[in-house]
Structure 1
Amino acid sequence: MSALGAVVRPGRLSLPRSLRSDAVLLAAGVVLVAFVAACLFAPWLAPYDPDATDLGNVLAPSSPEHWLGTDQVGRDTLSRLLYGARTSLVGPLLVVVTSTVLGVLVGMVAGWRGGWLDATLSRVLDIAFAFPALLLAILAVSLFGKGLAAPVMAMSIAYTPFVARQVRGLVRSARSRPYVSAYAVQGFGPVDVALRRVLPNIAPVVLAQATVLFGYALLDLAALSFLGLGVQPPTSDWGAMINESRGAVLLGQPLTAVVPSVAVIVTVVAFNLLGEELGDRIARRDA
């Protein structure tokens, strides 16, 4: 009886955990697909021109004509939210892609070569960690001007050490695996083994890390736009929308600030949950 209990009990406990895991992935995926669809199909989904003003309809509440109301100059909030998804998601995507490519390159070289090159690159990464991404982006804006390009470049540099350090550790661990030695014995060159054998094995972990970084990049870029240093009006952007709606909040019309704020929070949480869940699944698979 005890042996049977030992077999049944883990199965009964693992089922709810699996269901919770699937539910998290499904919920995060639905949210992200919805925002990506809004980004891609904004011209067809938006009921109005996002920059069209109507001074006779300022700070209008929700209505059949304006589902989410209007802002301080009469622009439709829903239209600006849909178009704002473009700049709010494209910016973080550029940051994550650039920092991941640079981080994988630096981490692969440092972890695979080792020796003085590894020590030198590791010290450079340690120095880069001392500069917060948001502070580096503000410095870039002060040097190159406001907009999206300067913060994206600065944050790409600031996020590179996070990816590089993780890849370096994974590569150093993979070098001691039997399959790497087996490929070397068969005559495969070190570059071929690193790029065609090791890199595909660590790619899922890097993808999970990139998913989490996307949420942080979105939050940082939204903060810059809120401060007036990122995307400039009249371009739609969630952070800029929150900044522009401060006066409406003081007038007792918080909807124009709540809508983009909720969009930022929900998107960041969805990316974080997705990245953490992917990381947990990879860890359980490799355990």
Structure 2
Amino acid sequence: MTAPITTTLPVGSTRRPSPWRRLRRNRLACASLVFICLVLVGSALAPWLAPYDPNFSQPRLRLGGLGTPGHWLGLDAQGRDLFSRVLWGGRSALLACLPPVLGAALLALLLGLFAGFRQGRMSALIMRTLDMLLAFPMVLLAIGLATVFGPGLAAVSLTILFSALPYLARVVYAEVKAERDKEYLEAARALGASPRELLVQELLPNVLTGVVVYATTLVGGMLVFLAGLSFMGLGVQPPQADWGRMVSEGATVMLQGHAHVATVPALAIVAVALAFNWLGDGLRDVLDPRD
């Protein structure tokens, strides 16, 4: 009789768990991911989930508090349902933040890879231009774009794109400079790899993790920045629901004992921004190849 064949790992070796299993161990990041997915789904389905039109006004119930029958988050100064407006405001906030940050990440990968890998005048020109954007105040940039395009979603989206681009490009540039002289690239060059193959097959996988993590956390910061622009009147324009404008409108009635009008959208901003930050921290731990 032959003994059954068993396979065991060598002593002292461990099998690296999958990224999903590592993410599930981080309860805060996992909860943040679930919360963000719920926010995305709720915002996308706002036309069907919202019990009222976001601009439907009931003057008789204006400034109704939390738990008002039929309006569990209350009503604002114009008698509009806050729950409906928070759902619709999420559409405006995420539409103004997610596509620009994604576009900035893609541009940053292209510019950072090229500037970090190719040393020369063009590389210096790219980085000095990005440094100018980095030094330019974001609020002044928003005012300038609002003057050209008019206040609204287009100006805000462009502001977020140009504001996020230099930060993300700097991350890519620094990672490429740290990796370009390492042995595995020298080995790839010796085997006849072209510059394009070096960039796409060797460098890109090593810098992508930093971009994904930083872009995720940057979304949270840009949500707060967007709320500030809307508070100043440079963001999404009325009557379209927007969290920052809702806080601005609610601030006028806070001292009259109706704090919920500003607190509800403010809590939405804080919760979503924190969720993106916590998810970014979790992704850093999951995707870091050194762990």
Q: TM-score when scaled to structure 2?
A: 0.86
1:75 shift after superposition = 0.8
Q: How does 1:241-280 map to 2 (within 5 A)?
A: 241-280=246-285
Residue 55 (structure 1) aligns with? 59
Determine what percentage of the aligned residue pairs are the same residue: 39
Deviation at 1:268, TM superposition (A): 0.8
Encode CA deviations 1:74-99: one digit per residue, 9 max, x unaligned.
Answer: 11100010111000111111220121
How far the C-alpha of 1:177 sits from its partner, in A, is 2.5
Give the unaligned 5+ runs of structure 1. Answer: 1-17
The 8 Å contact of residues 138 and 151 in structure 1, kept in 2 or not, is answered as no
Alignment of 1:116-265 (within 5 A): 116-265=121-270
Residue 110 of structure 2 corresponds to 105
* Equivalent residue number for residue 48 of structure 2: 44
State how many pairs are aligned.
269
Spell out, residue by residue over 1:122-168, the C-alpha distance to the aligned partner (whole angstroms, 9 max, x if none): 22222222112233112211232110101211221122111111101
Structure 1 position 204, deviation (Å) = 1.6
**Inter-partner Cα distance in structure 2 for 1:250 and 1:158:** 35
Q: Moved runs in structure 1, 4+ residues, more than 6 A?
A: 18-21
CA contact (8 A) 1:95 1:217 kept: no
Quote the RMSD (CA, aligned, Å).
1.9
Q: How far off its partner does 1:48 sit?
A: 0.9
The structure with more helix, counted as a fraction of residues: 1
| TM-score normalised by length of structure 1 | 0.87
Identify if the C-alpha distance between structure 1 residues 280 and 69 changes in structure 2 by more than 3 Å, giving closer, same or farther. Answer: same
- Counterparts in 2 of 1:231 and 1:172: CA distance versus 1, 3 Å: same
User: Deviations along 1:150-201, whole A, 9 cap, x unmatched?
Assistant: 1211221122111111101111222223222232222221012202332122
Conserved? CA contact 2:172–2:211, under 8 Å: yes
Match of 1:73 among 65, 74, 78: 78
1:105 deviation in Å?
1.3
Q: Note if contact 1:109-1:118 (Cα within 8 Å) is conserved in structure 2.
A: yes
What amino acid maps onto 1:33 in structure 2?
Answer: C
